[in-house]
Amino acid sequence: MKVYKIDYLVQKDVVLKDAFLEVGKDGKIIGIQKEYNGDYEHLRGLVLPGFQNAHSHCFQYAMAGMAELHSTTNEPDDFWSWRDSMYKIALQISPEQLESVAMMLYSEMLRMGYTEVAEFHYLHHDKDGKTYSNLSEMGERLMSAAQKTGIKITLIPIFYQKGGFGKEAAEGQRRFLSSDSENYLKLVDASRKSAEKFSKAKVVKGIHSLRAVDEKGLQNVLNTKEKDLPLHIHISEQLKEVEECKSFYGARPVQWLLDNFEVDSNYHLVHATHLAESEIQGIANSGANVVLCPSTEGNLGDGIFPLRAFQEMGGKWSIGTDSHIGLQFMEELRLLDYGQRLISHKRNTFYSKQQGNPGFYGLSQAICNGRKAMGVQSSNFFEIGHDFDAVVVDMVHPLLFMSNPELKLATNLYSMDQTSIKEVYVAGERVITNGMHHQMDAIWMDFAKTLKELSFRA
């Protein structure tokens, strides 16, 4: 057992000063108390719960920044043109290179305070679109990278079948495809067998989008989804997608999903950017969660999620970094808040009817619903019986040091960046020390070698 004395321990609606937290050999919390007589380690600073990254496409990290050179003509550059560039990269990466990219990405996530990642994984097959002898070869590489770096991973092998509503898949999508739900479920089973090799990995199901799976496939997977396990799906990210869904199914994507399936609190709807008012209310009423990725949604020009209306209806959301053009957790929360301020012309946008402190509100949504995206239920940030996953924020900056406990969280959210993160713990193990991952040099060198081999950044 190890005991930590913590200067400021952040719980869901309170900051505890000088708390003692006991952690067992298995990394789980066994006690939280105000007094302790015995030896302890002092964690100096503001201790936050580990962050959840509820939506990741690992391989896209290798192209971060590459799609930012724009033509000076009037040729449109939008999500769909960006997607063509992404496909070119997806067709090049080998299993070994994917693991190298994942090692770099996951070590950076840890440095930014993320202790768990939901990997929305659809890069399944070899460069010719053929299955590997190990069906889950690519997914196993991601789980291996997570284990080596120390981050928890929820691998989501994605069912990807079509090239659009009623369209056959394009050549650039050949590495993603399962011909039908039966073959997809074989991939899930293989992935779960692979996950048995790793202590920090689990596997859940996901659908790429309504446009990427036919109706029979959707029914076979969604109507047989596993009780109490999350299911992830992209939906309503693009206006073109909404219009094509209306033409093909006769309804907007979210409305069609709500009308045809028993959507509940285990659903995690990624982006859900473009919603009619009835759809906003429908998601909130169903208890489904929305996964928002502000930096990627901004980078791709997706649009701004109607958070203000959604939160007034009691909606639940979490945070992901998607294409990883940005990785800072607090920056994602700020972008989400400031987008609402810009379209509402008001400042009081990041709160709920129960919580007016935006620091507590933002963390509560992102942490508790982020954990649900990984299949973990929680009612507080640090709980007995749960892993000790924590981010230690250095309070050396006068703005943070001089703030009272209630202000520390808001000050950290709006005025600090990742350089304030001193240490990160995952299941009781310290994986970041003085802002650095302990394997950083080796990971960095291997990643640079991989990018040189891929040559698309030269």
Please list the residues that pair with 317 across neighbouring strands: 290
Amino acid at position 55, single letter: H
Strand pairing class (390-393; 316-319): unpaired
Alpha helices in 324-416 (DSSP H): 329-344, 358-373, 398-401, 405-415
Nearest to 23 by CA among 15, 13, 14, 33: 33
Strand pairing class (421-426; 390-393): antiparallel
Environment class of residue 383 by beta-carbon count within 10 Å: exposed (0-12), middle (13-18) or buried (19+)? Answer: middle
Q: What are phi and psi of 122, to 5 degrees?
A: -130, 10
Query: Rounded to an integer, what is the distance from CA 353 to the centroid of its chain?
Result: 26
d(CA 388, CA 383): 9
Q: What are phi and psi of 142, to 5 degrees?
A: -70, -40
d(CA 85, CA 74): 18
Query: Would you say 117 and 152 are in contact if contact means Cβ atoms under 8 Å apart?
Result: yes
d(CA 118, CA 152): 9
Determine whether 386 is an active site residue. no
Q: Which two tokens stand for residue 450?
A: 């991989």
Strand pairing class (41-49; 390-393): antiparallel
Catalytic residue among 57, 271, 386, 437: 271
Catalytic residue among 302, 322, 389, 394: 322
Q: Which two tokens stand for residue 350?
A: 């990041």
3-state DSSP call for residue 435?
coil
- Cα-based distances in Å from 413 to 49, 252, 317, 407, 416: 14, 35, 17, 10, 6
Determine whether 26 is an active site residue. no
Catalytic residues: 271, 322
